Amino acid sequence: MARLLFIQNHPFEYMGPMYISGLLKENGHDCSLVIVSESKNYLQDIANYQPDLIAFSTMTGPHKWVLETAITIKQYFNQPIVLGGAHPTFFPEIIHEPAVDIICRGEGEYSVLDLANNLDSSQDISNIKNLWVKKNGHVFKNDLRPLVENLDSLPFPDRALYDDCEILRSVPAMKFLTGRGCPYRCAFCFNHKFNQLYQGLGRIVRKRGIGSLVDEIKQTSKIYNLELIRFPDDTFTSNSDWLVEFLPRYKNEINLPYTGLARANELDAHVVKALKESGCLNVYFGVETGNEYLRNKILRKGLSNKQLIRAAQLLRKYRVRFGTYNMFGLPKETLQLAFETIELNRKLRPNYTINNIFQPYPRTEISDYAAEQGCLNPHTDYLDTMNEGSILSLDEIDQLVNLSRFAYLAIKFPSLTPIIRFLIKLPPNRIYKLVFDLCSAPPMKSNLNLSWINLIRWGLKLRNIN
């Protein structure tokens, strides 16, 4: 039996480690987790568990914390450290960092299982697909294995991995994946690079069997106090045939409020009606920008204003609450263009808006475009996606950053526009950030008991540890 220990910074349920843990435990291995921000002494926790392998799920931006923590761990422990997730997938050169022994590119379940099996039997680990392995001064760069086409062949994610985290278990909501893969190629998202990476290695977009998904939710609800289900798929509504078959069964057998991510072009009357009848609490879809040229030529979103307006009309007609995602400070964006985003959202009349400053993820198409256009600020760390401000160099960037802080108020209360136009001319400051934080509080619905005190407590704690 091999013992794998996941390390992460903040209390957040990651699907990747839970799926890997589920598969490893099914095959006779053991997994555990240490959340550093929740631990009194995480090094002592590692020593107590005595792992054979230490793993980090690693994203761009937080990868800096991962590397710093890995260096500290290496001072006390000799076990191999493996990094998986988006950052090593697209930045495999991280294998050359001194504290990193192995990276996993792409889907990790069966690669980590092979790794655990080989460690347990003292076999060579340098030839496992998806892994890059550092050994005797050489890096073995193995090919990718095909995607997991039958998602139902995987065990259910091991949610017990997070059972010791009081703050997570106090939140009466959990995430359930209905599938993997995204068919779209938005320039600001990593999915188009992921799809290129796996070209010829299986179907990119895969859906789970409805029976398997329903069984997972039912089994989980017997163990945990669930009051809300979250479907975090990139596009929950991408397969309308699957969706309209799933939702009635969900209503009959689960009947809990749920949220999901949608695309405006996927929301026809048949789908929206099914969402309403099955108890959908709210859906979110990306507007990104109100300017069609920026949205479709620069961001490659492939959505017209007409499609966005039609989707919003249908959601309001069937009384499905919805929110929009919006970005400010895009390459080549001016203040005038940014106010088109405000105007379009006023026409859409969403119940919620999520307004963020644009951050170009490295090695995406939009980051390449921003570099070509000379929009990247040379004095800002390109890999630091945790910036609260913008890393772009634009003529009106401070005003665009400020507008993102006031966007919710500008959309909800058009009469405030003259005041907001004046305020955004002032330098960015903490008060504007406070306004943004208050406007970004979790949405509440009066006729639904979702233990909001716990949700707010959870949100405040996350803010404090950031």
How do residues 314-351 score in pLDDT, each as one tens digit?
999 999 999 999 999 999 999 999 999 999 999 999 99
CATH topology of domain 172-442: TIM Barrel (3.20.20)
Burial class (CB in 10 A: 0-12, 13-18, 19+), 260: buried
Measured CA to CA, the distance from residue 391 to residue 203 in angstroms comes to 35
Given its phi and psi angles, is residue 2 left (phi above 0), alpha (psi -120 to 50 degrees) or beta? beta
Element (H, E) at 406: helix 397-412
- Give pLDDT, residue 451: 40
Residues 94 and 183: their CA atoms lie apart, in Å, by: 28
Sequence-separated contacts (24+) of 136-139 with Cβ below 8 Å: 139/95, 139/96
Residues 6+ apart with CB under 8 A from 160: none
Half-sphere exposure of 200 (CA within 13 A, CB side): 3
% of residues, the chain, pLDDT over 70: 92
**Can you tell me the distance from the alpha carbon of 31 to that of 143, in angstroms, rounded to the nearest whole number?**
26
Helices and strands (H, E) in the chain, number of each type: 18, 15
**Among candidates 183, 196, 193, 181, which has minimal Cα distance to 149?**
181
Q: Helices (DSSP H) in 224-323: which residue ranges?
A: 240-253, 269-277, 292-293, 305-317
- Position 387 scores a pLDDT of 62
Under a CB-based contact definition with an 8 Å cutoff, are residues 36 and 61 in contact?
no
**Residues of the chain whose pLDDT is less than 70?**
379-387, 441-466
Q: Does the domain spanning 3-141 belong to CATH 3.40.50.1000? A: no
Q: What is the tens place of the pLDDT at every residue in 220-240? A: 999 999 999 999 999 999 999
Q: Which of 276, 283, 344, 260 is nearest to 308 (CA)?
A: 344
User: What would the two tokens of residue 132 be?
Assistant: 């890059």
Token pair listed for 171: 């939140």
3-class DSSP state for residue 134? strand
Q: Is the dihedral of CA 230, 387, 357, 363 positive or negative?
A: negative
- pTM equals 0.91
The structural domains of the chain, with segments of one domain joined by +, span 3-141, 172-442
Torsion sign over Cα 387, 393, 394, 399 = positive
pLDDT of residue 377: 72
Same fold, 3-141 and 172-442: no
Which residue is it, tokens 């406007």? 439
